[in-house]
Structure formats: C-alpha cells, structure tokens
Amino acid sequence: MIGHELGGRYEIIERIGGGGMALVYKAHDILLGRNVAIKVLRQQFVHDEEFIRRFRREAQSAASLSHPNVVSIYDVGQEDEIHYIVMEYVEGYNLNEIIKERAPLQVEESVRIATQICDALDHAHQNQIIHRDIKPHNILIGRNGRVKVTDFGIARAVTSTTITQTGSLIGSVHYFSPEHAKGVATGEKSDLYSLGIVMYQMLTATLPFLGESPISVALKHLQEEFDDPRDVNPLIPQSVENIILKSMRKNPHERYQSAKEMIVDIETSLLPERRNEPKMQFADFDADQTRALPAIKVQQQGTSLRRNKDLFNEDDEDDKPMTSNKGKKKWTKPVLWISLTLFILIAMGSIVWYVNNKLSVQEVAVPSVINMQEDAAVAKLKEFGIEVGEITRAYNPEFDEGMVYDQSKKEGTTIKEGSSINLSVSTIKPFVTMPDVKSLTFEEASKILIGKKIKEDNIKQTSDYSDEPSGTVISQSPGANAEFDGDTQEIVLTVSKGPKNIPMPNLVGKTQQDAQSELENLGLELEAIKEDTSFQIEKGKVTQQWPYDPKAPVSPGSPGSKITLFVSTGYPAEALDYTFRLPVAPVEEGKKTKVRIVYSDARNEEGSTKEYGTQTIQTTQVFPVKLVLMPNKDAVVSVYLDGKPFDEFRIRYNDVKNGTVPEVVLPQKDPVVPPITEDEPVDVVPDQNNEEDPKGNADNNTDDVEDDTTAMTSSGKLDNNNKNKDKGHKGNKDNRDNRGNDRNNGNRLTSSRP
C-alpha cells in the first residue's frame, strides 16, 4: 500500500496503526494538499458482509458528528476490494502510548483529558450515537493538547430497537461495561463506565480488572469489585476518586445519568472546597444481579468460539504473556502442545457448559406500561424479570407528569429475562428561560426567541429614545433569565430610536434657580456655575451660557449637553452709581418745547447711547438721570430741544468719587406767566435698560420726574446758585466755551439757551 494512490487522490505515505478489523495509514490528499489518516479494511474481511456493514457504519456514525473533540470524517470509498475511510490526521500520540510512557499522570492533566473525552461523548449522545469502545487506544492527543476521540467502528445509533448482537462481545474487554459483558442493551451510561476505567488507568497506571483470559476479565466486570483508586495512588483527590467510583458502578442506575452531568462533576472536582469532600457511599454490590446474562453463548463449537476469541483479543496485544521454551528437549514439545491443547479444550468446554446450563435464562413477553406512573411501571417490569434501562424525561402534552408515554420494546415483544428496556416519562410543561437580547436588533432577538419555542405573535415591539444605536433592543420584558410559559407569555422588546434631540434653551436673563430647573427638566447636565460681572443683567441672573447655539439641537446625555452658566454678581466693585439732576428750560418760557435726553455710561458699549426719554415742557423741569461710571468710562448726557442738539454734559468718574461734580446752572429770567391752556399729555419713553439697578436698587430715571417737580423752574437750589437774575445770558456759544472752565474750577455746570 505504501506509495499507492488510493482513489486517484490519496497518496499512501506510511502505516501508523491498526486494529482487529482495519489498518490505518498516513496519506496525503493531493487535491486539498493536506495530510489525512486512512482506515483500510483488512483483506480477510472484504468478503464478510458483516464486517463490511460494520466498517461502513463507522463512517456513517462518525460523519454525523461535528465536534472539536471528535475526529472528523472527510470521505468514504471503495477501490476494487479495498474499502477505506478518510479521516482527520492528528499529529501526536494516542492515550495508550502516553499511559505506558509516564503513568500515573498528574491529576490536573488527567482531569483535563477526561473533560474533553466526556465533552465528545456528550455531543455523540445528543446525536443518538453510542461509542461502545472507549479505551486509551481510541483517544488521540494532538501536539497542542487537544483530545480527539476516534474509532466509532462499533458505535450504534440508538433506536427503539437497539440490542446487542447475540453471541459476540464487541470492544476491548478491559474497558467494557457489565451490561456489555452480559450482552444486554448498552447505552450512554456504558460509555461513561468505560471513561471511568480510562480515568482509573490514567491516575493509577493499572487497570481495575486483570485476568488470565478475556473471559475471566469479563466475569470480573460482572462479579467483582476493584481496588479504590486512592488505595493505589493516595495523591488522587477524594473528589476525583468519587467521579471514578460513581461512573464505574455495576448498576447503570447508580452511574451518572448523562455525560453532561459527569462533565459538571469533572470540571468542578479540583475546586478547593471539593478536593477533600467525603467519600461517596453506595449500597453493597449483589453479584447475583449482574450474573444473569453474560454474552458468552456458543452457537457452533469451533467457529463461534474462534470468532469470540478474536474479538476479545482485538487491540489487547499488550496483555499477552511472554513465554520461552529455551532449554526444553525437542521430544517434549509434542507432549506439551497436546497437553496444553487438551487443557484449553477442557477449560473452554467447561465454560461453555457453565454458560449454557447455569447462566441460561428464560424468555419473557414485554408487558405494556404506557400510561402508568413511573414507579408502578418499574415495579411491573421487575415482576416480569425485566430491568429498566435509560429513562428519558420530556414534556408530552397528552400525558400527566410522571406518566410513561413510550417504551423501547413494544408490548408482546419477546426478550430474555433480565434484559432491560428504555422508558419515556412525561414531565411538567417546561418553562422557557428568557435570554438576554439587549443590544441585538429586533429581528435578531425575535429569531432567538422563536428558536426557544416562543410564539412569534407573542413578541411585541415598542420604541424609545436612547443613546444606544438606533434599531437595537434597549430593554426587554420579561427580563433576562426569567422563566415563563412560552405559549402564553407576551414578550415586549423596546427598541432604540436613537438620541432625542432638543433645541438648546436660552437661559440668559433667567435666575440661577430657574435656569437650573429648566436644565433638569430637559435632561441636560449643569456642568459648572461661574460668576460674571454685568452692567446689563442684574445680580443673580444668567449673563451667558456655554455652549449655546440655537441652530444646533442637543441630545440629553451627549457631550454637548453639559452646560456652564455664568451668573451676574452685579456691577464691578469699583463701579459708582450717580444720579445726575439735569434742569432743562423751554426755548421760551410758557411755550411748549419738546425735550429729548440721551446718555452713555459704563453700561453702554463703546460708541452707543441710551434713551432717557422724551417729554414736552412749558416750564423749567429737573430730570434725574441715573448713571453708572467706571474709572475708564465717564458718562455723557445729551439734550435735544425740538429735535435739535442743544447741550451736552460730561460727568467724570473722579468727580463723582470725590463729590466734586459741578451743578448745572440755568440763567435766571423773570418769571413768565403762561397762558392758561389745557394740560397736554406727557410723552416720555423711558430707557428700559435704565429701569433696573443691577445692584438691586430698582429706580426708574423718569420716576424722579415727580409730579411735584414738573414745574421746577425756580427751585430753591437753582435760585441760590443764580443770585444775579438780571444778568441774562449771552448765548449758547459763550456759555459752552466757559463750561469747561467751570468744570476745571470745580464750580457749576452751566448751560445757556437763547
């Protein structure tokens, strides 16, 4: 075979192993450029339909599995009389080689290997595949430490009619289960028994049952107890020994109920709180219960015995004792051989007689236990001498909880007494556990929920604003891990509409408290409050905010939603308030004159003025103009009469600070009695910005234009300052020229008018 190109694709490189029914070669896949392993059926079996069927069954069984701990099957074929299977090539060693080289293995390594083997078995069992030949020879360890289970050549898909072949024991005798030796139905728990023996061997470097022949080993599986692992290797933790003890119980009901259950026990066995747990206790073993059906039945003396012997010895070459005849005389050899042959024939004949006469059993008809409670069904089967094998528990809407709704052997089927049948028992209606579907799209979440048997009509969608990406689930009801009836429970998934954008509010001019309340109501965050002096905004109100862009909406919770407020503390400390009392006389006493007053002070931007107001007068009146001055900002008050500029007054900061502001003096004239006329309305448009005192002293400039002073043409103060009433006035130009001198001399501000 070496160098042969099999199937026009696989170039045989070397032989790497072999068993009782096939040889294994390393080959190169020319098409895909990778190394593969090829199992080729031995030539002596190519005409044996039984072996060919078994060989093909290996490919079918293994090909249905896809798991990282199961050797993958790539191809199956036939070339002339060569039947072959192409499978994954694992670079490394098999577990048998590792055990021979360095057993006992470290506990941690043994647990790691056992976990991966059990994981592979769990996958196979979930796919209704029983391996039935778990042993170190079939466990491959890659160079990366990955465990691969191979050789599903004698695996059998579990069906309602699964039975073990009569008269033959398939698998290596040192590793198979008691029920395997008895020839009754094998199941998932049989694989777990074999795994327990593999763990025993890894940790103790020995097998639990040894004997002079395969038959004696098989009987020990049925009748004898083994030495506890810790008696052989005291370094084994009690928690790990408990796993071996439980998996190797002769009664399948006392073993792990599933590979998944065993995985959980293995994975947690090395936790500190478990290492020294109490030793697991079991009821005493009754050998009579396991002796009923050994599968050692001779059909035709000669061929059948030979066939069984071959199967027992398959892959067990390591157990053959070595003998030597050196020094024996040639004439003694025929006698020895004849004696040995007679001894073997007598021994085997005795075993056959014992099996056929002492261990033979009666056949019974299977009764119906459907629609019976589980306990009653088990009791009834025991009355007929039938054991209960696997019990599958699943919800069946047509049967109450605990009722048997199916059995693997139909009523009236004839089986041997002591055989077992499997039962299916109904459970309560299972609840659905709600998965966490947040952050998924509604479609993805719905697909998962429908996969859990939740009705699509019961899945509802709502939406809400969120910072999570639009279209993703942000909340769910019921919550994750909640349990409910999938047929009736309504599922509500809230999907994000994305961030909610709102217009940026304008908080300028509002009190600090009002501004904070508005931010809170809008879901915006107040990042900081800073003080700010202001001539325009009164103390305690917002002068500015950052950021502020009325055209750029913000989303609560976004970086731009953190607002800094600047709150007015009023005027700067050096600012001075001053009320400038400005007397204004009509152009001609007794005749109407329209007076307009404007001013600029520290509150104005450079180059701008504010309106004080406009009023029609017939007599001299005093207008109180409230001003605010700064060291670098004087105040200027301008007067317009009948729409024309009339006079301008500059009030200096230092004069106000020192109390040396000159007073305005109007020239005195003889009083003129105005004609009696009806009162005309006063047209005053006060400066709104001059109404509020940022320091908290609210005072309107026009408020001081008292009703009682509307005719202040000759107030006492003005009379005292103008002693020479008969001097008259020389004209606007002369008086304006002299006004500067008056200010410089600290005297009075005077104004002349024609």
- Which residues are marked as active site? 133
Of 94, 82, 147, which Cα lies nearest the Cα of 120?
147
Collapse the DSSP code of 655 into the 3-class scheme (helix H, G, I; strand E, B; otherwise coil) and give the result.
helix
d(CA 733, CA 735): 6
Locate 375 and state its tokens. Answer: 């306990």
Of 134, 133, 93, which Cα lies nearest the Cα of 114?
134
d(CA 203, CA 241): 10
Locate 109 and state its tokens. Answer: 């390594």
Of 15, 284, 20, which Cα lies nearest the Cα of 135?
20
Q: What are phi and psi of 243, to 5 degrees?
A: -65, -45
Placement of tokens 């023996």 in the chain: 197
Please check whether residue 90 is in contact with residue 148, taking contact to mean a CB–CB distance below 8 angstroms: yes
Of 587, 607, 583, which Cα lies nearest the Cα of 597?
583
Our CA angle for 405, 253, 183, nearest 5°, is: 90
Locate 466 and state its tokens. Answer: 């969120």
* Region of residue 3 (left: phi > 0; alpha: psi -120 to 50; beta: else): left
Q: Which residues contact 106 (CB under 8 A, 6 or more apart)?
A: none
d(CA 210, CA 318): 12
Please check whether residue 145 is in contact with residue 117, taking contact to mean a CB–CB distance below 8 angstroms: no
Of 309, 294, 312, which Cα lies nearest the Cα of 358?
294
Of 99, 350, 318, 321, which Cα lies nearest the Cα of 215?
350
Determine the number of helices (DSSP H) and then strands (DSSP E) in the chain: 17, 32
User: Would you say the C-alpha torsion 532, 536, 541, 547 has a positive or negative sign?
Assistant: negative
> What secondary structure, in 3-state letters, does 19-53 show?
CCCEEEEEEEECCCCEEEEEEEECHHHCCCHHHHH
Placement of tokens 């009948």 in the chain: 642
User: Would you say the C-alpha torsion 506, 511, 514, 520 has a positive or negative sign?
Assistant: positive
Amino acid at residue number 711: A
Q: Which residues contact 547 (CB under 8 A, 6 or more apart)?
A: 504, 560, 563
Please check whether residue 148 is in contact with residue 169, taking contact to mean a CB–CB distance below 8 angstroms: no
Q: Which residues contact 156 (CB under 8 A, 6 or more apart)?
A: 57, 61, 129, 130, 132, 162
Locate 641 and state its tokens. Answer: 């009469």
d(CA 25, CA 36): 8
Please check whether residue 116 is in contact with residue 263, taking contact to mean a CB–CB distance below 8 angstroms: no
Buried/exposed 114-151: b ≥16 CB within 10 Å, e otherwise = bbbbbbbbbbbbeeebbbbbbbbbbbbbeeeeebbbbb
Terminal alpha carbon distance of the chain:
137
